Chain A
Amino acid sequence: MSMLKAPLLLTLAWRNLWRHRGRTAAILFALALGVWSMVSLAALSRGSMEQQLVKAILNLTGHIQIHAPDYRDDPVVEHRLSPPGAALTAALSRPEVTAWAPRVRVPAVVASERESAGVTLVGIDPARERGLSFIPDAVTEGRYLESTDEAGILLGRKLAERLETGVGRRVVVMSQDVNNSVADRGFRVVGIFDTEPQAAEEGYVFVTLASAQRMLKLGDNISEIALMTTDRDRLDGLLAALRAAAPDLDVQPWTVVEPLLVLTEKIVNVILIVWYVIVFTAMSFGLVNTLLMAVFERTREFGLFQALGMPPRHILGQVLAESCILLAVALALGNLGGWLTVLALKDGLDLSAFAQGFEMMGVSPIIYPALRAGDVTAANVLVTVLGLAASLYPAWRAARHVPVEAITRV
């Protein structure tokens, strides 16, 4: 199509679209609704996924963890490591590391005077956990751990309820020490924390690193080092540096430590693609039907075009131009609608009516949508490419008429 013909075809396409204002408005609304649903659902899914990721990473995962080689298979006190040496400390001081902390993390039993429960005992450096895990900000009753060696303990609310204990009461923690003997120690409950998922509230108890090391006769040994970085998706350089600094240790990114998270993200991607295809299929029926109606109504007109010397490819181009205009306007409206929806929900979409179910899945009942350029681009490209592909049939129908048959058709 030469440049001279393009304005003619676009003019014809634009004016033809407005010959049936109602019909054009209806298909535009349907297409825009489809695009809006694609963009909005993608933003909500991404937002929810992002929240889950952030939560899981803050749930003692971090971006990278360092352990003794067998710890991840069997997280017991025997699989411990020494405090970081000079090389590892230097690697942990790289600028992309925003926080790191040593931890003791072993299975234990906690008992009140009424009940007992199996838990994970986590010994932490209270100050170093800030910006690294959820616990510094999760204490809603009592207080957070203050000094590095105090004898206080933090319990999750669900666990405290189960143990029928509370702030100011004493509990006993039992575990196995480095000599394979049962170690036990009494702690005073100084704080109760609330968090999601509920399993974390029931599964973790927090004491200071020094208390845990003393109780388990660890000396200055620890179970793990967790660290947070500036970009969780760009860890290769740091991982290489850490592995070089600590060749005998198991240094793994969050994607390996929490493979379920990666799987969940992949599932979200697949669900989005399936959703896109379903919405597009519904949209394409409307689009093809509208274009076919428009083509059938204008059979004589297409015959006239051909009689006047318009080549069939220009007739094909004219119908495709109509489709392009419909798609472009619908995409603009749908994207605008999606963006406004995300803007309107910037304070979160509150689904707390279904909160219990969400919490059980580890999903926050308040979803903050996250509009990702990749998702919006994928939706727009899919709608444009497949929309034009779907329009080829009506366009081909329009272009293939023999002029005399088209003109003489009543």
Chain B
Amino acid sequence: MEHTVLCRNVSKVYRQDTVAVQALTDVSLEIPRLDFVCLSGPSGSGKSTLLNLIGGLDRPTGGEIYVDGNRVDQMEKGALAELRLRRIGFVFQAYNLIPVLTARENVEFVMQLQGVAAGERTRKAREILKEVGLEDLENRRPGELSGGQQQRVAVARAIVSAPSLVLADEPTANLDSKTAENLMQLLRHMNREHGVTFIFSTHDKLVMEFSQRLITLRDGRIVDDVRRD
């Protein structure tokens, strides 16, 4: 099976002054292409740490991590930035959008970094904003959008340049249940329609219901891995 993500014996230790905190211990994981995976577990279980390591935002203390066959844990900064730019989309819990850019400009941002020509950028951004139901709000800045709308813009931005993987760290944490449900439906739709692998973290049971595969972490270890489809 073709893997989008492969983790082998990954561990992460944070050092705060003289105290070492073991955030992840010996985590091994294979995530095939087009999977829709939920990382669950209580606060401090290592969900965000694992997402950050997969996304190359942080480096593991030990083990190996591969994304689309590229060994992320040994990449140079520049190569990591390029990998994130071309292959990985991010949706964070908050502060997702660039406040001085409009919704459309936020969606175009990654494409602009990729060097996509202006006309094509705008066309793609408008298409995806329409798909997430925000075609009328493209000229609004983040401060003029609700939390749910902001997350939709973030999803649109994560998906627009056709990455192979989207990492979403508690994307619904700041949303009410109805908006959270809508957002999850949108993520699932994107997963199916755009052929993108999704890994998201949550401790919200409602959100977990949307996953194809539910991986539970506790104290930095995988304690359960259930395929639900």
Residue positions of A touching B, CB distance < 8 A: 2, 4-5, 8, 11-12, 15-16, 19, 300-301, 304-312, 314, 402-404, 407-408
Contacts and interface: CB of A to CB of B under 8 A. Distances in A.
B81 A310 contact: yes
Contacts of B82: 309
Interface in B77-110: 77-78, 81-86, 90, 92, 95-96, 98-101, 105, 109-110
Contact of B115 (A4, A304, A402): A4
Contacts of A8: 109, 112-113
Contact of B84 (A5, A307, A312, A314): A307
A311 B58 contact: no
Given A8-B112, A19-B100, A312-B77, A404 B57 contact: yes
Interface in B113-149: 113-115
A309 B113 contact: yes
B25 interface: no
B113 A5 contact: yes
A307 B55 contact: yes
A12 B57 CA distance: 23
Given A304-B95, A308-B109, A407-B57, A2 B81 contact: no
B58 A308 contact: no
B84 A12 contact: no
A304 B98 contact: yes
B110 A309 contact: yes
Nearest to A306: B81
B52 interface: yes
A301 B86 contact: no
Contact of B112 (A4, A307, A312, A403): A4
Interface string B157-169: 1000000000000
Contacts of B58: 402-404
B81 A311 contact: yes
B112 A311 contact: no
Nearest to A4: B115
B156 to A, nearest CB: 13
Given A4-B112, A307-B90, 18 more contacts: A5-B113, A8-B109, A12-B98, A15-B100, A304-B95, A306-B57, A307-B84, A308-B84, A308-B110, A308-B113, A309-B86, A309-B114, A310-B113, A311-B78, A311-B81, A314-B113, A404-B57, A407-B95
